[in-house]
Amino acid sequence: MSKSLKSFALVSLVFSLTCGVGLAANDMVVKHTLAQTAASSDGKAEADKLFQDGVQLFRRGEYPKALQTYQRVLEIRRKLGDKA
C-alpha cells in the first residue's frame, strides 16, 4: 500500500471515529434536552392546573387550602426556573 493511501485510510478512519462520537454525543444532548422539555411542559401543566384549583378554592372561601395550593404552584414554578 502506498504511503498516501495509508495516510488517506488513517485520516478517513480518524474522521469517521471522531464524527461518530460527536454524533452520539449530540444525540444524547438532544435526547436530554427533549426529556427536560417534556418534564418542563408537564411541570408547567401541573402548575397551571393547581393554580386554577387554587382560584376555585379561593372563590369558595377555602383560604387555607387555596394558600397551600398556591405555595405548591410556587415551588413547581421555581423548580422550572419561572421567575414570573
The pLDDT tens digits along the chain (84 residues) read 566 666 666 566 566 666 555 545 556 554 555 455 556 688 999 999 999 999 999 999 999 999 999 999 999 999 999 987
Could you tell me the pTM of the whole model?
0.53
How far apart (Å, rounded) are the C-alpha atoms in residues 55 and 76?
17
**Phi-psi bin for 23: left (phi > 0), alpha (psi -120 to 50), beta?**
alpha
- CA 8 to chain CA mean position, Å: 41
Longest dimension (CA), the chain: 87
